[in-house]
Chain A
Amino acid sequence: MAEKGLIDFFLAEAEEHIGTLEQGFLEIEKRPKDAELIQELFRSAHTLKGSAALVKLPVISEIAHVMEDYLESLRDGKRQVTKDGVDWLLHSLDGIKTLIADVVEGRPEREGILDDVRKSLDVVEVEEPLVSEVADIPEPAEKEDIYEEKRDVGRRREDLETISNYVRVHLETIEKMMAQVGELTVLKNYLVNEMGSIYNLRDEIDYAGRRLLREIEDFSNRYAYSIPDKVSYVDSLLEDFRELEFDRYDELNLFARKLQEITSDINEALKGITGIFQRFSSHVGRLERISTDLRDHISESRMVEAGRLFQRFTRIIRDLSNRLGKPVRFIISGAETRIDRLIYEGLFDPLLHIVRNAISHGIEPPEERRSLGKPGEGRLMITVRREGSMVVIDVKDDGRGIDLRKVYNKALKMGLVDKGEKVTRGKLLNLIFYPGFSTYEGADTASGRGVGLDVVRQAVSEMNGTINVATVEGKGTLFRIKLPLTLIIVNTVRFTVGGVEFSVPSSLVNELVEVRPELMDDEGRVRIRERSYEVRDLAEIFSLKPIRPSPAIPGIHFSLLPGKDVVLLVDMITGQEDTVVRPLGGFLEGLRYYSGVSISADGNLTPVINPVGLLEEAVDFGISGGVSVDEAAGNRVLVVDDSLSVRKFISILLEQRGYEVMTVSNGLEALNVLDEKPMDMVITDLEMPVMHGYELMRELKRRGLMETLPVVVLTSRGSEKHREKALSLGARDYLVKPFEEKELLQTVRRYIKSLHLT
């Protein structure tokens, strides 16, 4: 018997063939003339024979062989389909099932079963002479006798699927499950986000409840002091007055007590709610873990061993090495590493290209190798390994390496570098990935013409991967491809530019940095930790109006190619999330700056940029989508108020009219928000805990923001003194609560003019 892994594959395969055969045997009784069906059964028996022999199960193989012969004679018309014949076929199949059951349980094959199958065939053949001998098939006389002995051979194993631990599942089913897991993940993210809002809400209710309690307490304390219990009245008239006072006192006291009771009820309810929130939160946490596990398991089920992919190269390499007269030893390492099926399929062409290049251009002819002191036989090694959530594939040869002088000359010819220009090794190597770049002159049937490494790079980038190359002259070349393990659920970094939200697969991101424009050199490069990087501004590339209040601009550092490190400037990094990326579809396919669109649980779309496509051809695209972009840039209102109802009311009022509203409950929080997110207007209360409105305005003034950022005061303090103070600090307007909807809207419109909202 062969090793366990192979046997498992055989069992899965055998199960399918047995199914086909069993069903087919029952069918041919009904359709004895169906040549196609018989052919199919023949093929199935044939394959089963071969596979069984391969895993060293000779008895199963031999039974399949006998069946194959029988089916062949049916196919060729040498025999006709008879009931006895079909019975025999089914009987033999039962024999195979029994044997397989033995294999599963680790027992050796029983030879006796083969003998039995052969013997019972002899009986059938006596009863059923070949067509050439007799035209009419006589009814077999004593059917019962023939099959007496078979009972001890094959218990019918109708429940075959329980025998092997494998079920074959159509890839499409797994894809569907994966897509659903993707949606589940997005929904889960949504819930996790909502948890944050729920907690905030709970805190606010809690805070309001405590405030209410405190107020009541203060109130009753004050009242208790104002009516001291032990006052002696001399005058009887005053005595009456006292009675009157006491009546009022009782009433108020009662009222206060009632309020206290209600508040403590609310408090109790709040505790209950807190408990519910906590349980809810732990359930969401569990959901998160389950969906992650589910995703991993389903991803795992789509995984294929990388070795199977490399096996496909063995033959190609052998042919190529023979044709070119360059003996090559092909070494595979990490063949058992499992990779996503989509990646498996997508990798074949890029790898093939690299492998062909290595043999035709990299590895030298044997005599040349020997003269260099290398072994005559070239070495080509493919290794695969997992690194976290990435899979890394190295293709390494010990050939002559990439001749950088040739690359330089070619680049000069193509106008990619200027004469006399100093070019780094990295940049030169990078050039080999340019469209139409090949240092190899002349036709070449082996690696093909017209298809360059740019196609390889493109294919890799479509799978959210990167490719790198290292070379040492005379020693060899190494291509390294890094890909995410799975393609369906992608972890992305989200960011905004000009009010538009984008994301990029985190597998492509090297690191997040901050760039100070004043530190950029004349060529627009910036130094980070002793290395110089090219800087590109996404706002410029897309002609968007950047919103950058802070002098340090967030940047995303991509290492796309050797020597091609680019820092892409954005407005704000908003977070990271697992998301499902959908393709752009046929109409937008050609848009190379994007690799897809992510759809969140609430239906929001976020374009996913493809840095390779984007940074390779940064040309002026002209202004597009301008209308919406401008709108997004001028409609953000920050509401600062310690009252939840005021915050809610203003949010609803403004959001209905298309404004983007953020709310905070005191001045300090407002400053924190303004540090991180640019706003177009602030509406603030005056009296607030932690930092009040005056302090907020003073701080904004100190930061020089009062000129550019309109601040409007909304307060219950109606006196002229407060108004004057607020206006002197730079407030643009002063509204007094309770306010009119219309009045507030007019004020907001006055200060956010850039907006065209209906």
Chain B
Amino acid sequence: MDIQKPSQDEIPEEFVSRDLEVCIFRAGEKVLNIPVDNLLEITELTEIVPLPGAPDYLTGIAHYRGKVVPVLDIGSIVGNEKSSSPGRWLLVLKVGEDLLGFSIMEMPDLGPVQEGDSLDVMALFQKYRIR
């Protein structure tokens, strides 16, 4: 049996070896990254239920596998920009025992740690948590 030549479709090696340490996303004017260890899922933001009475930075709540995820308008928190619409993508993060979601406009990417500013999710959680 002949060994086939690599086809043109094959993924370039450097792409495979690229480190996927962080999830990179745009929030307002800023490019941020968070460790993939915090990341549970990147999903399309289908339905978000507003929670009237909650602070403005809370877009609402979303459903993630039988659990309730509070979704933050991360653009308004770090990017100083109130989004006009809830965003198209939902980053579901695990912060300790809790879940937290970011609603963002552009699809996030995974990449090496050099890209974007690192976001301390725990600190953010503590700071914006409703007490």
Point out residues on A near B: beta carbons under 8 Å.
183, 498, 500, 541-544, 582-591, 593-594, 597, 599, 603-607, 614, 621-625, 627-629, 756
- In the complex, are the beta carbons of B67 and A585 less than 8 A apart? yes
* Bitwise interface map of B from 71 to 114 toward A, beta carbon under 8 Å scored 1, else 0: 00000000000001110000000011111100000000000000
- In the complex, are the beta carbons of B84 and A585 less than 8 A apart? no
Also in contact, A587 and B50, with CB within 8 A (given A582-B68, A603-B63, A627-B86): no
Also in contact, A585 and B63, with CB within 8 A (given A605-B49, A624-B50): no
- Residues of B close to A621: CB separation below 8 A: 52-54
Q: List 27 A-B contacts (CB under 8 A).
A: A541-B53, A542-B52, A582-B67, A584-B61, A584-B68, A585-B70, A586-B129, A587-B95, A587-B99, A587-B128, A588-B51, A588-B54, A588-B130, A590-B130, A591-B54, A597-B61, A599-B68, A603-B47, A605-B49, A605-B62, A606-B49, A614-B53, A624-B58, A625-B60, A629-B50, A629-B52, A756-B85
- Residues of B close to A500: CB separation below 8 A: 49-50, 52
- In the complex, are the beta carbons of A587 and B130 less than 8 A apart? yes
- Residues of A close to B12: CB separation below 8 A: none
Which of B60, B67, B69, B95 has a CB less than 8 Å from the CB of A628?
A: B60
Size bin of chain B's contact surface: 35 or more
- Residues of B close to A541: CB separation below 8 A: 53
- CA of A273 to CA of B59 in the docked complex: distance in angstroms? 45
- In the complex, are the beta carbons of B129 and A625 less than 8 A apart? no
Distance to closest chain B CB from A187 (angstroms): 12
- CA of A591 to CA of B60 in the docked complex: distance in angstroms? 12
- Residues of B close to A605: CB separation below 8 A: 47, 49, 61-63, 68
- In the complex, are the beta carbons of B53 and A624 less than 8 A apart? yes
- In the complex, are the beta carbons of B68 and A586 less than 8 A apart? no
- CA of A543 to CA of B51 in the docked complex: distance in angstroms? 12
Distance to closest chain B CB from A178 (angstroms): 14
Distance to closest chain B CB from A671 (angstroms): 31
Point out which of B51, B58, B66, B95 has the most chain A C-beta atoms below 10 A from its C-beta: B51
- CA of A624 to CA of B128 in the docked complex: distance in angstroms? 15
- In the complex, are the beta carbons of A589 and B130 less than 8 A apart? yes
Cβ of B131 < 8 Å from any Cβ of A?
Answer: yes
Also in contact, A587 and B60, with CB within 8 A (given A606-B49, A607-B51, A625-B51): no
Distance to closest chain B CB from A378 (angstroms): 41
Known: A584-B61, A585-B99. 17 other contacts (CB 8 A): A542-B52, A542-B53, A585-B67, A585-B70, A587-B95, A587-B99, A587-B128, A587-B129, A588-B54, A588-B61, A589-B130, A593-B53, A605-B47, A606-B49, A625-B60, A627-B85, A628-B50
- In the complex, are the beta carbons of A588 and B70 less than 8 A apart? yes
- CA of A627 to CA of B76 in the docked complex: distance in angstroms? 14
* Bitwise interface map of B from 33 to 58 toward A, beta carbon under 8 Å scored 1, else 0: 00000000000000111111111101
- CA of A597 to CA of B95 in the docked complex: distance in angstroms? 20
Distance to closest chain B CB from A624 (angstroms): 5
Distance to closest chain A CB from B83 (angstroms): 8
- In the complex, are the beta carbons of A543 and B130 less than 8 A apart? no
5 cross-chain pairs, A with B, having the tightest CB-CB distances, nearest first: A625-B50, A542-B52, A590-B130, A586-B98, A590-B131
- In the complex, are the beta carbons of B52 and A587 less than 8 A apart? no
- CA of A624 to CA of B47 in the docked complex: distance in angstroms? 17
Distance to closest chain B CB from A626 (angstroms): 8
Which residue of chain B has the shortest Cβ distance to A587 in the bound complex?
B70
A-B Cβ contacts below 8 A, count: 106
- CA of A622 to CA of B57 in the docked complex: distance in angstroms? 12
- In the complex, are the beta carbons of A625 and B54 less than 8 A apart? yes
Which residue of chain A has the shortest Cβ distance to B85 in the bound complex?
A627
Distance to closest chain B CB from A283 (angstroms): 26
- CA of A541 to CA of B97 in the docked complex: distance in angstroms? 32
Distance to closest chain A CB from B48 (angstroms): 7
Point out which of B52, B63, B86 has the most chain A C-beta atoms below 10 A from its C-beta: B52
- In the complex, are the beta carbons of B52 and A625 less than 8 A apart? yes
Which residue of chain A has the shortest Cβ distance to B67 in the bound complex?
A582
Distance to closest chain A CB from B116 (angstroms): 23
- Residues of B close to A607: CB separation below 8 A: 49, 51, 61
Distance to closest chain B CB from A180 (angstroms): 11
- CA of A588 to CA of B70 in the docked complex: distance in angstroms? 7
- In the complex, are the beta carbons of B130 and A591 less than 8 A apart? yes
- Residues of A close to B69: CB separation below 8 A: 585
- CA of A519 to CA of B98 in the docked complex: distance in angstroms? 47
- Residues of B close to A597: CB separation below 8 A: 49, 61, 68
- CA of A42 to CA of B2 in the docked complex: distance in angstroms? 73
Distance to closest chain A CB from B89 (angstroms): 15
- Residues of B close to A622: CB separation below 8 A: 56
- CA of A543 to CA of B131 in the docked complex: distance in angstroms? 21
Which residue of chain B has the shortest Cβ distance to A614 in the bound complex?
B53
- In the complex, are the beta carbons of A587 and B125 less than 8 A apart? yes
Distance to closest chain A CB from B59 (angstroms): 7
- CA of A541 to CA of B47 in the docked complex: distance in angstroms? 24
- In the complex, are the beta carbons of A627 and B53 less than 8 A apart? no
Distance to closest chain A CB from B68 (angstroms): 5
- In the complex, are the beta carbons of B86 and A628 less than 8 A apart? yes
Which residue of chain A has the shortest Cβ distance to B49 in the bound complex?
A605
Point out which of A604, A605, A756 has the most chain B C-beta atoms below 10 A from its C-beta: A605
- In the complex, are the beta carbons of A599 and B51 less than 8 A apart? no
Distance to closest chain B CB from A581 (angstroms): 10
- Residues of A close to B128: CB separation below 8 A: 587
- In the complex, are the beta carbons of A628 and B96 less than 8 A apart? no
- CA of A584 to CA of B60 in the docked complex: distance in angstroms? 12
- CA of A627 to CA of B84 in the docked complex: distance in angstroms? 7
- CA of A544 to CA of B53 in the docked complex: distance in angstroms? 10
Which residue of chain B has the shortest Cβ distance to A593 in the bound complex?
B53
- In the complex, are the beta carbons of A585 and B51 less than 8 A apart? no
- Residues of A close to B96: CB separation below 8 A: 586
Which residue of chain A has the shortest Cβ distance to B51 in the bound complex?
A607
- In the complex, are the beta carbons of A624 and B52 less than 8 A apart? yes
- Residues of A close to B97: CB separation below 8 A: 586
- In the complex, are the beta carbons of A624 and B130 less than 8 A apart? no
Which residue of chain A has the shortest Cβ distance to B63 in the bound complex?
A603
- In the complex, are the beta carbons of B62 and A625 less than 8 A apart? no
- CA of A603 to CA of B65 in the docked complex: distance in angstroms? 9
- Residues of B close to A591: CB separation below 8 A: 51, 53-54, 130
Which residue of chain B has the shortest Cβ distance to A618 in the bound complex?
B53
- Residues of B close to A624: CB separation below 8 A: 50-56, 58
- In the complex, are the beta carbons of A599 and B54 less than 8 A apart? no
- CA of A599 to CA of B49 in the docked complex: distance in angstroms? 11
- CA of A624 to CA of B61 in the docked complex: distance in angstroms? 13
- Residues of A close to B85: CB separation below 8 A: 627, 756
Distance to closest chain A CB from B84 (angstroms): 7
- CA of A627 to CA of B49 in the docked complex: distance in angstroms? 11
Distance to closest chain B CB from A67 (angstroms): 44
- CA of A588 to CA of B55 in the docked complex: distance in angstroms? 10
Which residue of chain B has the shortest Cβ distance to A626 in the bound complex?
B50
- Residues of A close to B51: CB separation below 8 A: 588, 591, 594, 607, 624-625
Distance to closest chain A CB from B109 (angstroms): 23
Distance to closest chain A CB from B49 (angstroms): 5
